[in-house]
Amino acid sequence: MSSSLRGSLPIVPQDSTDPRELYATSLARAAALPAVIDEVLREMEDVAREEQIPVVGRLEGVMLQTLASLPGPSTRRILDIGTAIGYSAIWLARALAPGGRVTSIEIDPVRAARAARFIERAGYADRVDVLVGDAFDIVPGLGEFDVIFQDVMKHRYFGDDPSKAAALLKLSKSHLDPQGVLMIDNAFCGNHVLDGTATDSIEARGVQTMNELLSQDTDFVSVILPVRDGLWVAHRS
C-alpha cells in the first residue's frame, strides 16, 4: 500500500446532525414497537455508540424494514451481509413474510456471537441464521434471495484491494431474485466519494467504483437515498 493512502476510515455515526433526519428519526422512535424489541434496539444503539460499532441507526433501520417489506408475502428470503451486532438483521427480520428467514453473515466470530444473543433476546432467533465467515466464501453456496442488504466492514473486505467492492456487487447480484431488491449502505463512504478524497483511501476507491457500476447497470432501477451515509436501493427489473 502506498504511504500516501490513509488507514481505515472513521466509523460513520448512527446519529445524523441533519435537522430533517433528526425530525424523521424522532418520528421513527415514536412509532409503536413491541416493548422487548424496542428495549433491545435501544440497548444496541447505546452499545454501538459507546464501543464505536457501526450500526445503521433507528431511521435507516426503519427504512430497511419498510423497503424490504414492500414486496409483501414474497419477501421470504433475506441476505444480510455484515451482521455486526445484529441490529440490521432485527429490522430485516421484521419485514419477513410468515415462514421467511434472514441469513446474516459476519466475518468476526466475537461479533457474530454477540449478535446471536441480541437477536435471541429480541425474539427473532427462529427467523435469523447468523453464519460466521467471509461472504466471498459463504455466499456462493447459498441460493437466491428476495432482498439483499450489503453492509460489510469496508476495511476488512476491500481495504487492501478496491476491486473487491465490484466483486462483492457482482456476487450479490448473482444471488438476487430476478425481481429482487438490493440495498447497500455507506454509498458516500463517510463523504470521501463527495469531497474528492476517494483516491486517498483504498476503501473509498472501491466504493466509488461500486457506485459507478451500480448506477450504470441497466438490470436495475436504482437510486442512492441521501440518508446518513447514503443507502443504495436497487430494484432488479
Q: % helix / strand / coil in the chain, to the nearest 5? A: 45, 20, 35
Under DSSP, is residue 19 helix (H, G, I), strand (E, B) or coil?
helix
Domain coverage including residue 107? 19-236
Check pLDDT > 50 for residue 2.
Answer: no
State how many domains the chain has.
Answer: 1
What confidence tier does 156 reach under pLDDT thresholds 50, 70, 90?
low
The 10s digit of each residue's pLDDT in 42-68 is: 999 999 999 999 999 999 999 999 999
Is there a domain that residue 7 lies in? Answer: no
Strands 231-236 and 220-225: antiparallel
Q: Are 108 and 75 within 8 A, CB to CB?
A: no
What is the overall mean pLDDT for the chain? 91
Is there a domain that residue 3 lies in? Answer: no
* Alpha carbons 120 and 122: distance in angstroms, whole number: 5
Is there a domain that residue 197 lies in? Answer: yes
Check pLDDT > 70 for residue 127.
Answer: yes
What confidence tier does 5 reach under pLDDT thresholds 50, 70, 90?
very low
Check pLDDT > 90 for residue 72.
Answer: no
Is there a domain that residue 105 lies in? Answer: yes
Strands 101-106 and 77-81: parallel
Over residues 17-44, the mean pLDDT reads 95
The C-alpha cell of 227 is what?
440518508
* Alpha carbons 190 and 201: distance in angstroms, whole number: 11
Is there a domain that residue 144 lies in? Answer: yes
* Structure confidence at residue 194 (pLDDT): 85
Is there a domain that residue 91 lies in? Answer: yes
Can you tell me which residue has the cell 430533517?
A: 20
* Structure confidence at residue 170 (pLDDT): 96
What confidence tier does 157 reach under pLDDT thresholds 50, 70, 90?
confident
* Structure confidence at residue 85 (pLDDT): 97
Residues 6+ apart with CB under 8 A from 188: 194, 224, 226, 229, 230
Residue 123 DSSP label: T
* Structure confidence at residue 159 (pLDDT): 66
CATH number at residue 108: 3.40.50.150
* Alpha carbons 202 and 155: distance in angstroms, whole number: 8
Is there a domain that residue 10 lies in? Answer: no
Is there a domain that residue 8 lies in? Answer: no
